[in-house]
Amino acid sequence: MRIRASIAAVVIAPLAAVVGTVVMGGAQDKTLSIGVLGPLSGGAASYGVELVRGAEMKADEINKAGGLKVGADTYRIKLVSYDHKALAADAATAANKLVFQDKVKYIIGNAVGATCNAVQTVTEPEKVLFSFVCWGTNNLGPDKPHSFRVMLSQWEVAEPFYRWVKEKHPQIKRVAAISPNDTSGKDTNTAVVKALKALGFEVAADEYYERGTKDFYPILTKILAAKPDMLDVAAAPAGEGGLILKQARELGFKGAKGWTAGTNPFTIIGVAGKDAAEGVWSPANINVRSDFVSATVRRFGAEYEKRYNEVPGVIAVANYAAFDVITKAMQEARSLDTDKVLAALTQKPFETVWGRLVIGGKETYGIDRQFLYPVVISEVRDGKVVDIAQVLPTALKK
């Protein structure tokens, strides 16, 4: 008896302590834990780092202003982030930890396509609201009602981008697209080709290369033989896209250049060289210092730079906006219940750093779960990235 009693004491004492703190905490301020996932190490680390920083910026803003008022309660926001190294298996483990151990109901932020699919196997059955910047058509759908994409993908970007090309550069008739030979490459080329056909361009080439290719002479010889007016290195990452542009120039290509899926044109200039990168258009980029972005974005950019000593890329801005939109929806719904927040999210437009933001995409994905906002097209001029136009995704115009 005595032994059993002492065991009970050992177990109960810490338990009581834990319960006590929770109760005491509740008396003052409630805590809302929000998960952030992403590759924080390895080759894609820059994506994850931007996701976390974008989230931190918004969370700190809210906490400094006294917390998030949802209905009668006020919550302090606490971020819980895990590194999945861009590996699907690690992503599933991290999602399990967030949902079942940290009891998180919101995961705002994740990147790299395959890891998104892995996380969704955990979040969808648990009705955890999950937002990400992963590309790929299969991350959104009616079977995944709790999933949102908070950054424009090739499906939203290709059409307005090429509409702009058609209006401003009518001499461009034939366009060649080249992407890596995998799902994200296929997705991007398909989106580009669809936009090209809808707008009356000729598709000069729709080509794929193996990731890791260095010598693009063979494939470029074939592409250039089709005499394209414009070459789109669609979903190529900066390293490979840069080599393609450099080698295309060496093979005598003098036409226009695009990078539909390019998120950061600075990187491609380094690889391609100033001359070969000259004139590259990229529609998915954001330049927080340019005149084309709102004062809010410029302010965000300046603060981000002060805090992290780096210029934020499009992913940081996207996740900052996602935090903004989702917390606003919580306030609208006056609840933290994900289904109620979900309903609030899709009801009306939000004013964000992007400007006016709508959640749509039903015509592409069968469900309105894609963040839509104005696209900024930038051009490489004399080794610098200059924003030259702002266009609207089709769905946003309505």
Partner 1 sequence: MSIDLLVQALLNGFGLAMVYVLVALGLTLIFSILEIINFAHGEFYMLGGYVTYYVFAVFGVNYFATLGFAILAVGLAGVVAERLIFRYLRGKTLNAFIVSLGLLWVMQASAQLSFGVLDKPVPSAFSGIVRAFGLVISVERLVVSLSAIVLIAALYLFLRWSRPGRAMRAVAQDADAAALQGVDIELVSALGFGIGCALAGGAGGLLAPVFAVSPAMGALPVVKAFIIIIIGGMGSLPGAVVGGLLLGSVEGLGSLFMGSAAVNVLGFLVVILVLLVRPRGLFGGA
Residues engaged in binding partner 1 (CB under 8 A): 42-43, 45, 181, 207-210, 212-215, 217-219, 221-222, 225, 238-239, 242-243, 246, 250-252, 270-273, 275
Please state the closest distance from residue 39 (CB atom) to partner 1, in A: 11
Whose Cβ is closer to partner 1: residue 208's or residue 292's?
208
**Between 149 and 257, whose beta carbon lies closer to partner 1?**
257
Cβ proximity to partner 1: between 67 and 273 the closer is 273
Instruction: State the minimum distance, in angstroms, from the CB of residue 137 to partner 1.
Output: 22
Closest distance of CB 88 from partner 1, Å: 20
Cβ proximity to partner 1, 222 vs 381, nearer residue:
222
Q: Which candidate, 103, 130, 128, places its Cα nearest to that of 22? A: 103
Cβ neighbors of 256 (< 8 A, separation 6 or more) are 165, 169, 172, 229, 230, 231, 279, 281
- In the bound complex, what is the minimum distance in angstroms from residue 288's beta carbon to partner 1? 22
Residue 20 or 42 having the CB closest to partner 1: 42
C-alpha 251/C-alpha 232 separation (Å) is 16
What is the SS3 assignment for 327-351?
HHHHHHHCCCCHHHHHHHHCCCCEE
DSSP reduced 3-state for 199: helix
Residue 257 beta carbon to partner 1: minimum distance, rounded to whole angstroms: 17
What is the phi/psi pair of residue 37, to 5°?
-115, 165
Rank residues 174 and 340 by Cβ distance to partner 1 and give the closer one: 174
Q: Quick one: which of 368, 373, 377 has its CA closest to 354?
A: 373
Min. distance of Cβ 286 from partner 1 in angstroms?
21
As measured in angstroms, the least distance from the Cβ of 121 to partner 1 is 29
Residue pair 287/376 in contact (Cβ under 8 Å)? The answer is yes
Residue 376's SS3 state is strand
For residue 388, give the 3-state DSSP assignment.
strand
Q: What sign results for the dihedral spanned by CA atoms 144, 149, 154, 159?
A: positive
Q: Which amino acid is at 257?
A: K
Q: Which is nearer to partner 1, 68 or 243 (CB)?
A: 243
If the CB atoms of residues 248 and 326 are measured against partner 1, the closer one turns out to be 248
Nearer to partner 1, 220 or 341 (CB): 220
Beta bridge partners of 175: 203, 230
Identify residue 76 by its one-letter amino acid code. Answer: R
* Nearest of 183, 97, 86, 67 to residue 132 by alpha carbon: 86
Task: Locate 137 and state its tokens.
Answer: 């058509």
CB of 276 to partner 1, least distance (A): 9
Closest Cα partner for 285 from 198, 376, 222, 160? 376
- Min CB(47)–partner 1 separation in Å: 13
Tokens at residue 115, please? 């890891």
Query: Residue 186 CB, nearest distance to partner 1 (Å)?
Result: 12
Tell me how far apart the alpha carbons of residues 394 and 358 are, in angstroms, rounded to a whole number. 12
* Shortest distance (Å) from residue 171 CB to partner 1: 23
Nearer to partner 1, 118 or 223 (CB): 223
Give the CA diameter of the chain. Answer: 92
| Residue with smaller CB distance to partner 1, 181 or 347 | 181
What are the Cα distances from residue 130, in Å, to 32, 144, 225, 235, 261?
Answer: 15, 10, 45, 24, 23
Q: Are 280 and 259 in contact (CB under 8 A)?
A: yes
